[in-house]
Structure 1
Amino acid sequence: MIRTPLRPLARILRARARGENPDEIEAENRRLRHEAIQDKARRRAEGRLVLMSACFVLAFGTVGVRMGALASSDPSEPRSQVLSAQILSQRADITDRRGRVLATNLLTHSLYAHPHQMVDPVRAATGLARIFPDLDQARLTRDFTGGRKFMWIKRKISPEQMQAVHDIGEPGLLFGPREMRVYPNGHVASHILGGSGFGAEGVSSAEVLGVAGVEKAFDNWLRDPSHDGAPLALSIDLTVQTAMEEVLSSGMKIMNAKGAAGILMEVATGEVVAMASLPDFDPNDRPRPLLKGDPSDSPLFNRAVQGQYELGSTFKIFPVAQALDLKLINPNSGINSSSPMKIGKYLIHDFHNYGKQLSATDVIVKSSNVGTVRIAQMLGVERQRDFLQKLGLFQPTPVEMVEAPTGQPLVPSRWPAVTAATVAFGHGLAASPLHLAAAYATIANGGRRVTPTLIHGRKRPQGEQVLSPRAAEMAVGMLRQVVTRGTAKQAEVEGYEIAGKTGTADKPRPSGGYYKNKVVATFASVFPASDPAYVLIVTLDEPSVSTAGGGESRTAGMTAVPVAAEIVRRLAPLVGLKARTDEKLPTVAARFQPRVEPAPADGIKLVSNK
């Protein structure tokens, strides 16, 4: 900016020429300059005032609009977008197939301390030890009087305990709100649910994480807020599950068994309606896992899924069903049952001498090892292995539990003739009761592969057809006769047409060989036989029951079968099955009454694997 001079030369000269005073010109210019400076300063101040006023109007207008919007909206809990939101998010409930709660959340509090804020640390330690007997008073005193600034005392406490701590009156004892996982049914379905624990935690919140079972398998789903709190619906029925556990527990005690497992599965869907493993635990107070010894000694061990057992004669229906499917035999075909049978340097015996020949049906009814091996030899090793693999007996079950992969069946690496023979009657291949349930469900489902699941109502693709419907129907007919006139007569429950197979297998020693007086007794069954709807597996670990003659029996027919019969009596009405009392209705067994046909000269029809 060009400033006007205070004493312009031209004006000064003219003023002197006219006899005027030049200083007046300077004074006038100085006054005009001051006035210009004042006007500029005033305009700048006015502009700032206008800008500030506009800012205040805009700010207060925004606050007013926001307050009006909040006042007219429905109240809701604000959701934080910061990292701590992951800790604050609620875990979804778990329900049974009817919507009844199996696992939910409960608001509780944690207890922590700021020792440096305590008025009387010794008195606080004494009061806490009185409220919580598991706390060490001497150690609390040392911690409170040391140099610590923060320490956890209890991750979760009850309202009564919170009030008692509050009554101590110590300002250094503080509470933090948090959610805890609650299992309102206690021990019921404990192995299925698994349990939970705390992950990332702060003084005012904690992250709940699944540690086992479906809680762990569906951990991400249960914590995902996008599901809007929708519960995870399992396939189990709480009433049926409770009844199974009650009967199984009583049966385990009566049969003096070390442990027990039971599975009830829908044939058509593979949905597990009930699955129990005993001994069990309370997921509200989950015990610590064993670090030494046999894992099955721990109540955390799930015998139904993780147990790897040689399931004995329950396997005999598999080679027989396959031979029926291939039309190598029919239910009335004569099979050489001369015992003992020699394979290489090994002899295979039957429990009783059944004579020189049995029908194929009676091989199953009387549970003939020799007859089963004869039929298995008709199949050949490769076809036998291929069929067992299609039944899912070589891979872990895909059931939705983190323990499922640990239930990998123990399959022989080599299959010489003697291995093929022993596997045919359930020795040399160890699988879980859930594997057996799925395999029997496949037979009961008209030969179409069934995959077990713990999720209710989920649509899944149809399984592979591994048996013809006709062969599957004949196999079920044979199993029905095991109950009506075979080794499982005690399984007969009037009106429910139970079909099944017993299996008693010696327990292997960890060091090799087998125990002489320890067995795993299993009864695998389907019902009703004329229209199979459910599969029931009952397994007892090391059962032993006194007989009428003063002896002792460990066979499945005397131990697992009576327990299974009582389970059917209790559970069948609960799942909506009505007992059929009309004796005129034909049963599946009636269509396959034994009529022995002549056997080949050696009782074996050798078939190539092609």
Structure 2
Amino acid sequence: MIRTPLRPLARILKARAQGQNPDAIEAENIRLRHEEDRDRARNRAEGRLLVMGLAFFCAFGVIGVRMAALSGSVPEEPTAQASGSPIIGQRSDIVDRNGRVLATNLDTHSLYAQIPDMIDPAKAATDLAAIFPELDAEELLKDFTGERRFLWIRREISPEQMQAVHDIGDPGLLFGPREMRLYPNGSVAAHILGGATYGREGVSSAEVVGVAGVESYYDDFLRDPANEGAPLELSIDLTVQAASERVLQGGMMLMSAKGASSVLMDVHTGEIISMVSLPDFDPNDRPRVLTAEDGAGDQSDSPLFNRAVQGVYELGSVFKIFTVAQGMELGLINANTMIDTTGPLEWGRFRIRDFHNYGPALSAEDVIVKSSNIGTARIAMMIGGERQRAFLGTLGLLEETTVEMVEAPTGDPLLPANWSEISTMTISYGHGLSSSPVHLATAYSSLLNGGYRVEPTIIRQDGPQYGDRIVSERVSATSRNMLRAVVDHGTASFGDVVGYEVGGKTGTADKPRPTGGYYEDRTIATFASVFPASDPKYVLIVTLDEPSIETLGEERRTAGWTAVPVAAEMIRRVAPLLGMRPDVETLTPTGVTLTSN
């Protein structure tokens, strides 16, 4: 830019020649220059304001257009863009029917080592072995001084252990946030809950996945963030479950049994109120599965084995009520029909005998009360194998149960390869067909609730869940009366609980040998009960594996001496917990005269 001089020589000389002041020329030039600078600055400022105005206009225009587009679009959840699937750590609680916590989450920490950052590996290995006795200092030192760069030390540690590791002061020992599954009631309902472990793991989080029971069956539900932490509500009652386990544990020890199970079911909904399998375990410290290296024989001896669901057994005479009920439903017999009990009943090389000689004939009701194998077999012959199989199928005894546990499919009933006439006779009194205690509870509930099929469930239901009709109300009521008579003056007399009108049927079955035939000194003792018999609400199944008790100078293995008193004590304990008031007859005062003053 060419600037005009403030004192141009030509004008200065001319001004002096004319007698003018040359300084006025300089002042005028300064004024003009200032005006030019001012105009130039104003133009520059106005240009900048125009540019900024245009920028703001464009920005607000874009925002307005975007807002208009969003207001006219269909709302949808935003999705996060990430490389790989994130680890979901949160897992919903599991609660009982009254909202009491059975499984929940606990915030804790994991411990790992970034080996290149360690300062004194030898001291760290020694100190860690002192804090965690299960760790070997030499193995740790070998890992710390080897080629590894990362090492998990403990998946879970307590706050006290975390502080102790802090005190070691090695920067290579680090902690990661971790969420662990906690079962605050210990072993209570262990087989129902099953347990959980870690799936995918990272230093900042870990995936908790179910490994058995409802934890595994409902794994997707429990891990689904869409549920917003809503708990899984089970049908069991924690108080009843704990009481049942305590009574059954005592009964198993008293009867010297190797195992035991019980199932308490609501006959109208199919809800399992309590389910016990012994021996059990603590899901907080779930034992590992037995292997051949452990010298494991029968997996059913493992505490992980759920005898109530997975255990399929020949359950014995508890099946007899099904035979008699079907005979009554078909109109072949009634409660008073006399049945030939002359024995033994021969079929080829097989002979069917009764435990006692009951004479030449018994009424159908007494066949149940006295538990006659011969009488039941003769009724089954009247029914026929095809109709018998169809009826047992409607009761759910020929297929796996629908209870919501991953173990259910492994409890598939064992049926005869050929449903022959001899099979029809033996199945009528509970031999030749193996099923689980849950199968039996379901069948008894369906027969005795008025005759409607129910499905077993571990999830809380609202109101009765009736399916197809199995038998008429009349046959259902008559069957309940027969079972009440069994307890009143039959083989289950030890099962009577004052005020609760217990009905039931005993079953004692010899255990089959793996090589064929049956043991003579090993039995499965079962008591299938219903209470109250006149207005049924619950079915209770108690099964003892190889029970034996010395009574009156003899060794007793039958259900009447073993399973029945255990079930009676269980009913005595849990009935009040279920809100059932004993129905006790009020005695009328005698010898008292009312007088007035």
Q: How does 1:211-226 map to 2 (within 5 A)?
A: 211-226=211-226
Which residue of structure 2 lines up, in the alignment, with residue 297 of structure 1?
Answer: 301
Distance (Å, rounded) in 2 between the aligned partners of 1:405 and 1:478: 33
The residue identity in structure 1 corresponding to 2:566 is V
Which residue of structure 1 lines up, in the alignment, with residue 206 of structure 2?
Answer: 206
**Contact 2:89/2:179 (CA < 8 Å) preserved in 1?**
no
Displacement after TM superposition at 1:484 (Å): 0.4
Sequence identity percentage: 63
**Contact 1:314/1:502 (CA < 8 Å) preserved in 2?**
yes
Aligned pair in 2 of structure 1 residues 160, 257: CA closer, same or farther (>3 Å)? same
Aligned to 2:105, the other structure's residue is in SS state strand
Displacement after TM superposition at 1:494 (Å): 0.6
Which residue of structure 2 lines up, in the alignment, with residue 72 of structure 1?
Answer: none
**Contact 1:521/1:559 (CA < 8 Å) preserved in 2?**
yes
Aligned pair in 2 of structure 1 residues 59, 173: CA closer, same or farther (>3 Å)? farther
The residue identity in structure 2 corresponding to 1:196 is A
Distance (Å, rounded) in 1 between the aligned partners of 2:49 and 2:412: 81
Distance (Å, rounded) in 2 between the aligned partners of 1:468 and 1:45: 99
Tell me the alpha carbon deviations over residues 259-282 of structure 1, each in whole angstroms, 9 at most, x when there is no partner.
000111101101000000000000
What is the TM-score normalised by the length of structure 1? Answer: 0.83
Distance (Å, rounded) in 2 between the aligned partners of 1:235 and 1:59: 59
Which residue of structure 1 lines up, in the alignment, with residue 528 of structure 2?
Answer: 524
Displacement after TM superposition at 1:327 (Å): 1.4
For 2:493, which of 489, 495, 507 is the aligned residue? Answer: 489
Could you tell which deviates more after superposition, 567-576 or 224-233? 224-233
Alignment of 1:543 with 2:553, yes or no, is no
**Contact 1:89/1:225 (CA < 8 Å) preserved in 2?**
no
Q: How does 1:411-490 map to 2 (within 5 A)?
A: 411-457=415-461, 462-490=466-494
Which residue of structure 2 lines up, in the alignment, with residue 581 of structure 1?
Answer: 584
Aligned to 2:516, the other structure's residue is in SS state coil
Q: How does 1:176-215 map to 2 (within 5 A)?
A: 176-215=176-215
Q: How does 1:278-427 map to 2 (within 5 A)?
A: 278-291=278-291, 292-427=296-431
The residue identity in structure 1 corresponding to 2:457 is T
Which residue of structure 2 lines up, in the alignment, with residue 26 of structure 1?
Answer: none
Alignment of 1:570 with 2:573, yes or no, is yes
What is the TM-score normalised by the length of structure 2? Answer: 0.85
Aligned to 1:342, the other structure's residue is in SS state strand
**Contact 1:441/1:450 (CA < 8 Å) preserved in 2?**
yes
Displacement after TM superposition at 1:178 (Å): 1.3
Distance (Å, rounded) in 2 between the aligned partners of 1:58 and 1:230: 47
The number of residues matched between the two structures is 529
Displacement after TM superposition at 1:460 (Å): 8.0
Distance (Å, rounded) in 1 between the aligned partners of 2:56 and 2:151: 48
Which residue of structure 1 lines up, in the alignment, with residue 4 of structure 2?
Answer: none
Tell me the alpha carbon deviations over residues 485-509 of structure 1, each in whole angstroms, 9 at most, x when there is no partner.
1000000001111000000000111
Distance (Å, rounded) in 1 between the aligned partners of 2:312 and 2:402: 16
Aligned to 1:216, the other structure's residue is in SS state helix
Distance (Å, rounded) in 2 between the aligned partners of 1:116 and 1:398: 53
Distance (Å, rounded) in 2 between the aligned partners of 1:285 and 1:58: 64
Tell me the alpha carbon deviations over residues 276-331 of structure 1, each in whole angstroms, 9 at most, x when there is no partner.
00000000000001124211110000000000100000000111000011111111
Unaligned runs of 5+ in 2: 1-42, 63-77, 588-597
Aligned to 2:455, the other structure's residue is in SS state coil
Displacement after TM superposition at 1:462 (Å): 2.8
Displacement after TM superposition at 1:447 (Å): 1.0
**Contact 2:270/2:456 (CA < 8 Å) preserved in 1?**
yes
Aligned pair in 2 of structure 1 residues 338, 526: CA closer, same or farther (>3 Å)? same
Unaligned runs of 5+ in 1: 1-42, 63-77, 585-610
Which residue of structure 1 lines up, in the alignment, with residue 31 of structure 2?
Answer: none
Distance (Å, rounded) in 2 between the aligned partners of 1:416 and 1:210: 43
Aligned pair in 2 of structure 1 residues 159, 368: CA closer, same or farther (>3 Å)? same
Tell me the alpha carbon deviations over residues 84-143 of structure 1, each in whole angstroms, 9 at most, x when there is no partner.
774244111000000000000000000000111011010000110000011111011011
**Contact 1:86/1:207 (CA < 8 Å) preserved in 2?**
no
The residue identity in structure 2 corresponding to 1:437 is A
Displacement after TM superposition at 1:522 (Å): 0.2
Distance (Å, rounded) in 1 between the aligned partners of 2:421 and 2:169: 79
